[in-house]
Structure 1
Amino acid sequence: MDLPIIDRSEEILDPRLVRDSRGLISAHIPTQPISNHAPTLLELRDGDILCAWFGGSDEGNADIALWVSRLELATGEWTPARQVTFDNGRSDQNPGLFQCDDGEIWLIYPSQVARGQGIPETFNLQHTALLRRVRSADGGRTWSEPDTMFDQVGSFVRQPIQRLQSGRLVLPQWLCFDDDTRNGSDISIVQISDDKGETWRRVDIPDSEGLVHASIVETRPGHLLAFFRSRFADRVYLAVSEDDAETWSSPNPTELPNNNSSIGVALLPSGNVAVIHNDIGFNSVHRNVFWPYERPSVTVSISPNEGRSFPWRRVLEPGDGFSGYGNLRANRRHEYPTAMVDSAGRLHAAYAYNSRVCIKHTVLDELWVTGRPQDLPPDCGLWS
């Protein structure tokens, strides 16, 4: 016989901040494109939050443009998305939001030649990208026409500009080349500005081939950590600077796995470092480029010792739950997290949700990951 069932299978994508049974506060940002990816977050001076991402039919197509939504503090609700770039013939990707001292907002992004423009389409055309910028003088409500910020062909970014305690600005980049390595030849660099972004100079990160998406945090004055995505789908890598980004160590693998997908990194009020990532790796051999499809869930991992270990981890977005080697690809993808700590010390994450149907925004605190003392049962002696 049929079972008496209450059907709650249809998911509600709510633009309002809602607290769930796990204690997470989340919202789904309303959007028009069918594919939405690579979000970035910025807290404004009035407490509102901007989110930007790229959206369109599919990554690399000519209709891929940048979109922006605003979380209004007064309502706790994300506004409908608005398109802010219109580069016909180019695919605008990986936006990064930054607010200048004078309040102007910069939205920096790589703009590459789109598919179908009559040039040889070798792999993903990232080697054709320039770094462009649109600006807003009214808190992200209106935007300028784009200008070119860095004209070196093949320039790409993921993390926004970071302001160091010295006042120096740093922008992590990587450079893409037209070759047959499937982006295994990418190298990471850092652009440095000491005049509020008027001029920039390049610093190379040694031995960084195939290590991209550097996410930089400053744990103490002049002491910087850069965490990397690996084109080899093995581990998250870490490089260190002791001199305000002037020089860098060679990147070394951390204990965190990486699936050749982006990560988000933030310095928490406690001084610990949070890395938001897909907690899965695929390759035990460094230098073999690998592009796995699987990006099944999102995890927050916390380090008390600048990335040497990550004893605290918790799944932020569990996804569909397929976990066998025969059905892992059945999971919808949750991917490309960005991380931001707001003025109240809360950790914000945003990521492409359910195979890019929208951007999901989540708010949590460190104890949600590490566990509160009252949540940890005493050892009853049964497990010795």
Structure 2
Amino acid sequence: MRVAFLIAFTVLFLSCKEKTVELPPLISTDHPAVLTQEFIYEIADAITPECHASTVEVSNGTVVASWFGGTEEKNKDVGIWVSRNTNGSWSTPIEVVNGVQDENTRHPCWNPVLFKPKGEPLYLYYKVGPSPQEWWGLYMTSNDDGKTWSEPIKLPDGILGPIKNQPIQLADGTILSPSSNETKSGEWTIHVEKSIDTAKTWTKTKPLNNPDTFGAIQPVVLNHGNGNLQLISRTKNEVVSQNWSEDGGVTWGEMTATSLPNPNSGVDGVTLKDGRHILIYNPTGKNWGDRVPLSLGVSKDGINWDRAIDLEPLRETTDKEGEEYSYPTVIQAEDGKVHLVYTWNRKTVKYLVIDPTKI
């Protein structure tokens, strides 16, 4: 069975490699805040035909990136891949885990999320299952900054882990993990999973939106200080949505619309050390239905957003059916620099380093 699968995968992979794919050229973002912009691997060197849902973390000075890759999203050969940048260059991506259950069963992997709690190993959360309606959450840890990983550990029933975006850790050590559910009937709801013992045990909130009003998934947590938190979510409703908490995430208010459009595509954001907030998003609505351009927004209050940089601008030759710059992950490292990864046409992962003092 394994030999037959490997042969079939090899044939499919080679057939995909032989196809001529017309892709737009890499455009350098001409903005003084952008210090580095590069592909984690060149398309010509791709080990898998497709990749998506990248994540990034800085662990003891090492930049670690992860994503899912295989022939195509939802296919059984999709696994979780990792590359490390230790001295200015990226290592060859390595598949660190797959969805093999037994000799007869393999499921796709989904949406890795890297996260480094204070004083703890590097965590890699991910999902396995036939679909987002049926997947379950797992995690692995690394004590050597992503070079090697523990065996996978399944999260408790009912706990999915961070669905797309990183957890945040509050000053008292509490970890808040933004999560969501998708049902077979098409309902999308968000919730927050909470740990007070450094990710050893978890509780979770009830759903924080009415799916008949907002169909929302993949929230981001922004920390406004003094117990004020903001959840920002992807929706089916042409807008980015928000929930607010005034008690450190114990309770949450009703979901409302922000002023930002959303073409049903993932967003991510981070609260900077200077108190401002960054959001990476596609500034298009449902009528466009595409994931280009990809922009960086900045806000002082989480309400009024300025579109500061188009990381991937709308090109004159843009084929809305073919181009995609999406599913960003953005973090701020200890030195203040902002690190950002995102899907580049599902063919590779683009990596940027940004100086937020120049935004």
TM norm structure 1:
0.78
Q: Secondary structure at the match of 1:174?
A: strand
| Aligned-partner Cα distance in 2 for 1:240–1:58 | 36
User: 2:31–2:309: 8 Å Cα contact kept in structure 1?
Assistant: no
Question: Are 1:52 and 2:69 counterparts?
Answer: no
User: 2:29–2:312: 8 Å Cα contact kept in structure 1?
Assistant: no
200, 206, 209: which one pairs with 2:208? 206
Structure 1 153/226 Cα, relative in aligned 2: closer, same or farther at 3 Å?
closer
User: 1:166–1:222: 8 Å Cα contact kept in structure 2?
Assistant: no
Match of 1:189 in 2: 191
What amino acid maps onto 1:202 in structure 2?
K
Displacement of 1:311 after TM fit? 2.9
Displacement of 1:266 after TM fit? 0.8
Displacement of 1:152 after TM fit? 2.9
Match of 1:261 in 2: 265
Displacement of 1:61 after TM fit? 0.8
Match of 1:128 in 2: 134
Match of 2:50 in 1: 35
Question: Are 1:294 and 2:266 counterparts?
Answer: no
Question: Are 1:315 and 2:310 counterparts?
Answer: yes
Q: Secondary structure at the match of 2:129?
A: strand
User: 1:175–1:187: 8 Å Cα contact kept in structure 2?
Assistant: yes
Q: Secondary structure at the match of 1:204?
A: coil
Displacement of 1:270 after TM fit? 2.4
| Aligned-partner Cα distance in 2 for 1:190–1:90 | 26
User: 1:128–1:153: 8 Å Cα contact kept in structure 2?
Assistant: no
Displacement of 1:294 after TM fit? 1.2
Q: Unpaired segments of 5 or more residues in structure 1? A: 1-8, 114-124, 284-291, 370-384
Root-mean-square deviation over aligned CA pairs: 2.4
Structure 1 131/294 Cα, relative in aligned 2: closer, same or farther at 3 Å?
same
Match of 1:356 in 2: 346
Q: Per-residue CA shift, 1:218-276, capped at 9, x if unaligned?
A: 121321111100023x1111111111111111111111110110001011232111110
User: 1:188–1:208: 8 Å Cα contact kept in structure 2?
Assistant: no
Q: Per-residue CA shift, 1:342-383, capped at 9, x if unaligned?
A: 112122211001x111000011123544xxxxxxxxxxxxxx
Q: Per-residue CA shift, 1:154-190, capped at 9, x if unaligned?
A: 87711122211221011111112122x3xxx121111
Match of 1:6 in 2: none
Displacement of 1:313 after TM fit? 2.5
Q: Secondary structure at the match of 1:78?
A: coil
Q: Per-residue CA shift, 1:13-48, capped at 9, x if unaligned?
A: 8xxxx9875442212112421111111111112x11
Question: Are 1:250 and 2:261 counterparts?
Answer: no
User: 1:127–1:153: 8 Å Cα contact kept in structure 2?
Assistant: no
Displacement of 1:151 after TM fit? 2.6
Q: Secondary structure at the match of 2:111?
A: coil
User: 2:80–2:97: 8 Å Cα contact kept in structure 1?
Assistant: yes
68, 72, 95: which one pairs with 2:82? 68
Structure 1 178/331 Cα, relative in aligned 2: closer, same or farther at 3 Å?
closer
Q: Secondary structure at the match of 2:320?
A: helix
What amino acid maps onto 2:58 in structure 1?
E
Q: Per-residue CA shift, 1:55-77, capped at 9, x if unaligned?
A: 111111111111011111xx311
Q: Secondary structure at the match of 1:84?
A: strand
Structure 1 144/321 Cα, relative in aligned 2: closer, same or farther at 3 Å?
farther
Question: Are 1:338 and 2:334 counterparts?
Answer: no
| Aligned-partner Cα distance in 1 for 2:97–2:28 | 33
| Aligned-partner Cα distance in 1 for 2:166–2:303 | 24
The percentage of counterpart residues that share the same residue type is 25
TM norm structure 2:
0.84
Displacement of 1:85 after TM fit? 0.6
Structure 1 76/351 Cα, relative in aligned 2: closer, same or farther at 3 Å?
same
152, 172, 176: which one pairs with 1:170? 176
User: 1:322–1:330: 8 Å Cα contact kept in structure 2?
Assistant: no
| Aligned-partner Cα distance in 2 for 1:247–1:321 | 46
What amino acid maps onto 2:164 in structure 1?
R
Q: How many residues align?
A: 324
